[in-house]
Amino acid sequence: MTGKRMWWWFLWSFILVILIIVGRFLVSPPSQNINSSNLKLEWAYKTGGHILASPIIDGNTIYIGSYDGKLYALNLDGSLKWDFNAGGQIFSDVTYGNNTIYFGSNNGYFYALGDNGELIWKFKTDDSINSKALLLDKTLYFGNNSGNFYALGTDGKLKWEYKTGHAIRSNPVIGPEGYIYFANTAGKIYALTRNGNLVWEYSTNSPVDGGVSVSESNIYFGCENGFFYALDGKGHLVWDISIGGNITGSPLVIGDVIYVVSAQSGFTPSGYILAIKNDHVLWSYKVEGFPANLSYDKGTLYFGTGNGYLCAVNNGEIVWQNKIAPFVNGAPSVKDGNIYIGSLNGYLYAFHL
């Protein structure tokens, strides 16, 4: 481990320890936290560790990974279907396809499970996995924290591997030119063919902490230095804009509007949710506590915050906010009038909107 990587490792470890202390000792049980009449708590399921991933819903099943090393499959009523012990903390969201659940773990393994939670196969990489896999035509694409980008067949066999040299935490996406796009923490955006050949790379002067998103014509991403970029499918700059802060999470593209999260450091952490069209800001909403990843449903943005609120914003105006836990990181999932979200205290919550 290089000196720089070790410094970042110690910094994030320190931050997580502080959040763990808050989650364990300073936060009341969920039944005492609900302070908004806009939401009704349907249920809360307690895992054995912190939840930083987003719940993924397929049919009538919710999938969520936890720091306790388990992947949980829950019914929509909050009852447990099954759990699978991966043996390493689970940061990444799951990918579901062909009656199979795919996910990576902090122990460097990538797993394929059957609908009943049985292990089908696992593949060993050389570092922890934060990246959610992209499933295309019986091939799974994902990166890991040593900077390797993998293509696996749905049989678990390696097709190819591409080395970038720096951690890949973004989720890969398929873009307008049919290429696979992803970012690494060195501030580079890559476009690869499905056979693993480099088409182009675009370098910024700042790390990319969040993900990459695409529209029909462009690729969007933000950097730690507060710049937000739009590239075309050939890697040419279309426009950029300085919005300040550290741009985290994956941009959310809805029509011709891009919704972006920017975190502001300081004694009192805060951030902004911004709506961007072309190269100008349509509106911004200030959030107390770092805002987390965004979800969108029927014109409303939903997100959690670093100080434990679940929020709803519409057209730059707050609809409601609800204190639920110490720290809410993953994007909420909305289905049939309910919203599902995990927290650092280990609970997965279901609220009725």
Mean of pLDDT values over 302-320: 94
Q: What pLDDT was estimated at residue 231?
A: 96
Q: Report d(CA 248, CA 351) in Å as an integer.
A: 25
**For residue 261, what are its two tokens?**
């999260």
Please, what is the end-to-end C-alpha distance for the chain in angstroms? 46
User: Would you say how long the chain is, in residues?
Assistant: 353
Q: How far are the Cα atoms of 170, 205, 277, 286 from residue 271, in angstroms, in the given order?
A: 20, 22, 19, 6
Q: What pLDDT was estimated at residue 267?
A: 59
Q: What pLDDT was estimated at residue 38?
A: 66
Task: List all residues 6 or more positions away from 301 whose beta carbon is below 8 Å from its beta carbon.
Answer: 252, 259, 273, 294, 295, 312, 313, 314
Q: What is the pTM (predicted TM-score) of this model?
A: 0.88
Q: What confidence tens digit (pLDDT) does each residue in 163-185 have?
A: 999 999 999 999 978 999 999 99
Q: Report d(CA 275, CA 140) in Å as an integer.
A: 31
Per-residue pLDDT for 33 more than 90? no
Q: Report d(CA 120, CA 54) in Å as an integer.
A: 23
Q: What pLDDT was estimated at residue 30?
A: 38
Q: How far are the Cα atoms of 109, 211, 266, 311 from residue 286, in angstroms, in the given order?
A: 38, 21, 14, 12
Per-residue pLDDT for 34 more than 50? no
Q: What is the amino acid identity at position 171?
A: N
In this predicted model, which residue has the larger pLDDT, 9 or 46?
Answer: 46
Residue 6 gets which letter from DSSP?
H
Q: How far are the Cα atoms of 9, 21, 213, 255 from residue 242, in angstroms, in the given order?
A: 28, 35, 18, 22
Mean of pLDDT values over 236-262: 94
**For residue 91, what are its two tokens?**
């940061």
The answer to whether the beta carbons of residues 99 and 136 sit under 8 Å apart is: no
Q: How many CB atoms lie within 10 A of CB 88?
A: 18
| Residue 110 three-state SS | strand
Per-residue pLDDT for 9 more than 50? no
Output b/e per residue, 40-52; b: 16+ Cβ within 10 A: eeebbbebebbbb
The answer to whether the beta carbons of residues 175 and 181 sit under 8 Å apart is: yes
Q: What pLDDT was estimated at residue 3?
A: 53
Q: What confidence tens digit (pLDDT) does each residue in 126-144 have?
A: 999 999 999 999 999 999 9
User: In the β-sheet with 139-143, what is the strand arrangement from edge to edge?
Assistant: 134-136, 139-143, 148-153, 158-163
Q: How many CB atoms lie within 10 A of CB 92?
A: 25
Helices (H) and strands (E) in the chain, counts: 1, 32
What integer best gives the mean pLDDT of the chain? 89
Q: How far is CA 128 from the centre of its chain?
A: 15
Environment class of 269 (CB within 10 Å of its CB; exposed 0-12, middle 13-18, buried 19+): middle
| Residue 8 three-state SS | helix
Q: What pLDDT was estimated at residue 96?
A: 97
Q: Nearest CA to 312 among 351, 282, 347?
A: 351
Q: What pLDDT was estimated at residue 289?
A: 82
Per-residue pLDDT for 92 more than 70? yes
Mean of pLDDT values over 34-52: 83
**By percentage, how much of the chain surpasses pLDDT 70?**
88
Q: Report d(CA 129, CA 109) in Å as an integer.
A: 8
